[in-house]
Structure 1
Amino acid sequence: MHVCYLTNEYPKPGYPHGGIGSFVKTVAAPLAQRGYQVSVIGINYTADQEELLEDGVHIYRIKKEIKKGWTWWHNFNRISKKIAAIHQEQPISIVETSELGLAFLKKAPGIKYVIRLHGGHHFFAESEDRKVNFWKGWQEKRSFRKADAFVAVSNYVKTHTENYLSYHNKEVTLISYPINTSLFQPLGIPIVKHQIAFAGTVCKKKGIVELIRAFELVNQKFPKATLMIYGRDWLFPNGESFIRMLKQTEMTRLGTVADAITFVGPVAFESIPVKYAQAEVCVFPSHMETQGLVAPEAMAMGKAVVFTQLGPGPETIVDLETGLLCDPYSPADIAKKIVWVFENQLAAATMGNKAKDFVTHKYGLETILEKNINFYNAILD
């Protein structure tokens, strides 16, 4: 079996990546170690053509080109040609991509095409309080019609997506994101007292505005608390920086409290566990997630985690047992949960241990890997 993943986000040193890239990296190398052929195709961050073998995974980064008005078409065309070239030499069994990924891809005979629901344009429209863009919405519908099967990473993303899009009576299998518990495990390094860690793209839908406002409330009770924000910046359609906007609005309003907040920027995937380990609590108040990787990753390390009560939150955390769920639109509620961790260290440690066991059982890499292999074999049969 030869599995080919399509993503522009496969982690590359010195460049930011998102959750899809983290997921593919987590499953690709173990699949290769089991003897399966694994390829990853995506558009490069730079104007260079790259082909390399990393941990048994063949990575093809197509050079980035900007052609005004037609970049999307050229990208789909170049990816289609790369798939065809690889397929001719090493027949591909499965091509897997995200919601929009098949819109203009040329399907090749003999290959099964899978869409994994990472959270598409329709899915996030509601949480981002925006209308569905006709062009992107049309592409997503076209992409769904071309898929042979679907994978949902949570029950919530499955049921919420079908409010907007049809699966066309094709198979939809529920398989959670895997967590690499060899990487995300208790490290035993000293905790920085009253340090709060956030990781993720710094944008509105991740609840960062509410977290900063919550920190102001926490600071009133714990004036030595610090907030570490790890993640890449998000850009508005006009190219303006979201972090810059935050600094000009929220941070200015906070006055000296802002000195306790640090925007670290992107952090290498392998370095994230150390950042979680140093924090007393990890907080991810997303307005919406498909499943989210950051919460179970931190839970796997035995950390006290505050996660959103919306969407898949209740599938990930049993409130007050394996973590804390918060109203991501309420800075007061977020602050309340952070303060609880600071004031209940023994209970928080017990909660973290339960969280670690829960993640190992539900999201363990070997368990999830086996489910993916069984799924791939089933649709090939």
Structure 2
Amino acid sequence: MKVGFITSEYPHPKVIHAAGIGTSIKNLAVALVNKGVDVTIFVYHQNENAVVLDEGVEIHLIKKESFKYFTWYFYRKLVQIYVNKVVEEKQINILEAPDWTGITAFATFKVPLVIRFHGSDAYFCKLEKRKQKFKNFVFEKKALLKASAYIAPTTFAGKETQKIFGLNKKKIKTIHYGLQLKDFENETPAIYNRNTMLYIGTIIRKKGVFELAEIFNKVVETNPEAQLILIGNDAFDIQTGSASTYKLVESLFSNKAKKKVSYLGKVPYSEVKNHIKNAHVCVFPSFAETLGMVTIESMALQKPVINTSIGWAQELIDDSVNGYLVHPSDIDLYAQRILTLLNDENLCAKIGKAARKKVETTFDIEMLADQNLAYYKSVL
């Protein structure tokens, strides 16, 4: 079996950007290689054309190009031509692409195409209750309708995407993102920085960062020792037009809370695990995800996680068993859950242990790689 992935991100020093989507693709790609599958990654919108090898995976960087007219069309055709050439040379059997803004909308490939619901613009706009650009919807729908089959990382994401675009339910298969569990071991779960809350993710409105500021204000009032660490890229705020969402968030912190906040910006992925291990509690009050890689990474490292109660998160956490689920807009309850954990080390240990067990049974990439492989074969 030979599989190709088309993506705009992947964790590698030569690739411009990598976040949760890129991590999920790499976890799967490396697991497939270890099972004898030939894997090729096509990363578009890059600074150069290049081919690199990493952990048995062949990565093709496709340079971003501009055209005098209709760049949105001609660049997609450029990607199509490049991918088809490699597909033919390597005799790749099947391709996978993301749904975001429909990169495959005008492409015709020589092998079947599976689209994974990493999260379309339409999906996020629906969850955030904001208007989508009509062009993006058209591109995404065109891309999706041309695909042979679909994979959803959660059943929630699959159902919502199916409803938005009117897709055939029978062509959608739920397969979670996964982790290489040996890379997420915490041999000293009882050692961490007391009273430290950790948030990892882009500083953007849809991730619930404005609500997080209000939540932390309440936590600090009751527990003056509490600290909040934020890790992730700052982002443009679509609602206000501000170039920095963090500046807006910062303005919401009380004077007392502001002294207890550390914003580290983007940190190397290799350092993220240590930040998670050092945290007392991990908080992800997001309004819009398809799954959320950092949640399962934190659970694997035996951290008590307080997530959102919205759809997808209910497939990750069993409330009050291996984490907590609270709607981001319920500021008081969210703060209460955090304080409960900060005040009870035994409860943190119990939930952290249960969280690890949940990841082992549900998000083991070795098991999930087999599921992906079986699904690719069924499409062929």
Q: TM-score, normalised by structure 2?
A: 0.93
Q: Does 1:232 align with 2:233?
A: yes
* Structure 1 residue 89, shift from structure 2 partner: 1.1
CA shift for structure 1 position 106? 2.2
SS at 1:359 equivalent: helix
- Give the paired residue count: 375
Q: Distance in 1 between matches of 2:168 and 2:309?
A: 30
Mapped contact 2:296–2:359 kept (Cα < 8 A): yes
Q: 1:302 to 1:35 in 2, by over 3 A?
A: same
- 1:20-73 residue CA offsets vs partner (Å, 9 max, x unmatched): 101111111121222211111122543x22210111111111223345774433
CA–CA distance in structure 2, aligned partners of residues 229 and 73 of structure 1: 38
Following the alignment from structure 2 to structure 1, what is the Cα–Cα distance between the partners of residues 59 and 242? 29
State yes or no: 1:163 paired with 2:163. yes
Cα distance in 1 between the residues matched to 2:30 and 2:12: 15
Alpha-carbon distance in 1 for matches of 2:229, 2:147 = 40
Which residue matches 1:6? Answer: 6
Corresponding position: 1:145 with 2:148? no
* Alpha-carbon contact 1:228-1:262 (below 8 Å) kept: yes
What TM-score does the superposition give when structure 1 sets the normalisation length?
0.93
The residue that corresponds to 2:252 in the other structure is: 250
Structure 1: gaps of 5 or more residues: none
The equivalent of 2:207 in structure 1 is 206
My pick for the range that moved more, 361-370 or 230-239, is 230-239
Q: Distance in 2 between matches of 1:16 and 1:139?
A: 22
Whether contact under 8 Å (1:218, 1:335) holds in the other structure is yes
Q: Is the 8 A contact 1:227 1:260 kept in 2?
A: yes
Seq. identity, %: 27
* SS of structure 1 residue aligned to 2:164: coil
Output the CA distance in 2 between the equivalents of 1:201 and 1:232.
5
Map 1:1-381 to 2 at 5 A: 1-13=1-13, 16-46=17-47, 48-67=48-67, 70-99=70-99, 100-109=101-110, 111-168=111-168, 171-188=171-188, 190-236=191-237, 240-247=243-250, 249-251=251-253, 254-380=254-380
Distance 2:209 2:200 in 1: 10
Measured in 2, the distance between the counterparts of 1:286 and 1:371 equals: 28
Q: Deviations over 1:96-120 (max 9, x none)?
A: 11114454342233x1100111111
2:6–2:44 CA contact under 8 A, matched in 1: no
Change (3 A) 1:152 1:226: same
- Residues 240-262 of structure 1: CA deviation (Å, up to 9, x unaligned): 12223333x324xx224212111
Paired residues of 1:49 and 1:62 also in contact (CA < 8 A) = yes
Q: Tell me, what secondary structure is at the counterpart of 2:366?
A: helix
Q: Is the 8 A contact 1:199 1:229 kept in 2?
A: yes
1:304-353 Cα offsets, whole Å, 9 max, x none, are 11011112122111111111111111222221111010122101211110
Measured at CA, do residues 92 and 160 of structure 1 come closer, stay the same or move farther in structure 2, by a change above 3 Å? Answer: same
The letter for the 1-side match of 2:188 is G
Q: CA deviation at 1:363?
A: 0.7
Unpaired stretches in structure 2, ≥5 consecutive residues: none
8 Å contact kept, 1:306–1:326: yes
- Give 1:79 deviation, angstroms: 1.3
The residue matched to 1:164 in structure 2 has which SS?
Answer: helix
